[in-house]
Amino acid sequence: MTRSSASQLQARIGFSPRRSGLLATVVERLAEWQERARSRVLLGRMDDRMLRDMGISRSDVDVEVAKPFWRP
Q: Is the pLDDT of residue 3 over 80?
A: no
pTM of the predicted structure, to 2 decimals: 0.68
Q: Where are the domains of the chain?
A: 3-66
What local confidence, expressed as pLDDT, does residue 71 receive?
94
The answer to whether 16 and 10 have CB atoms below 8 angstroms apart is yes
Q: Is the pLDDT of residue 7 over 90?
A: no
Any residues with CB less than 8 A from the CB of 17 and at least 6 apart, and which?
10, 23, 24, 27
The answer to whether 40 and 64 have CB atoms below 8 angstroms apart is yes
Q: How far apart are CA 30 and CA 26, in angstroms?
A: 6
pLDDT in tens, 11-69: 777 666 566 688 888 889 999 999 999 999 999 999 999 999 999 999 999 999 999 99
What local confidence, expressed as pLDDT, does residue 21 receive?
80
What local confidence, expressed as pLDDT, does residue 16 receive?
62
